[in-house]
Structure 1
Amino acid sequence: MTPSELLLEGVELMLFGLGFVFLFLILLVVMIRVMSWVIERFAAKPPVPVSTSVAPQSASSEPSADVLAAIQSAIHQHRVRRG
């Protein structure tokens, strides 16, 4: 075999190899998309949590007396522990 024939065989083998790798990667991407579609279609949907909304207090309303007493007690305990 002449060097030019060897070079042409090498180029041909390289092109076949690159073609097979390219086809494999395309097949891999297609199969991943199909699996994703199947999982989305047949997987159980997670339950949607029901939100229990509490009516927000207006900015001008003051805390109740019980809340103020609890805050004052917590501040007093903190200062006693701190020294």
Structure 2
Amino acid sequence: MPTSELMLEGLTLMVFGMGFVFTFLTLLVFSTKMMSATVLRFLPVEEVLLQPPLTMASPSQQIANDPQLMAVLSAAVHRYRQDH
């Protein structure tokens, strides 16, 4: 086979392959959107109201105020420094 025929056959395969992938992905997007619309029609999303937290302390501040945790951490650091 001459090179020009091989190039033409390669380009044809590339176009068919890319066309098939594009068509498949387009159908996938449309079917996903249709399924989502169907589910939302039969099972609407309920609105959830979030309550603001009562305390404005960050988690690190809450941990720092725990005396038992601070004692355990202090003992662990002290033991580590003794061993090394």
Normalising by structure 2, what TM-score?
Answer: 0.52
Q: Who is 2:12 aligned against?
A: 12
Question: Segments of 4+ in structure 1 off by > 4 A?
Answer: none
Q: Who is 1:23 aligned against?
A: 23
User: Is the radius of gyration larger for structure 1 or structure 2?
Assistant: 1
Equivalenced residue count is 49
- Specify whether residues 47 and 12 from structure 1 end up closer, same or farther in structure 2 by C-alpha distance, changes over 3 A only: closer
* Partner-residue secondary structure (3-state), 1:37: helix
Counterpart-to-counterpart distance in 2, 1:18 and 1:38? 30
RMSD (Å) for aligned C-alpha atoms: 1.9
Q: Any residues of structure 2 matched to 1:1-83 within 5 Å, and which?
A: 1-46=1-46
Of Structure 1 and Structure 2, which has the larger fraction of its residues in helix? 2
Normalising by structure 1, what TM-score?
Answer: 0.53
Q: CA deviation at 1:45?
A: 4.9
* Partner-residue secondary structure (3-state), 2:46: coil
Identity among equivalent positions (%) equals 51
Q: Which amino acid aligns with 1:34?
A: M
Q: CA deviation at 1:13?
A: 0.1
- 1:31-57 per-residue CA deviation (whole Å, 9 max, x = no partner) reads 1110111111111553777xxxxxxxx
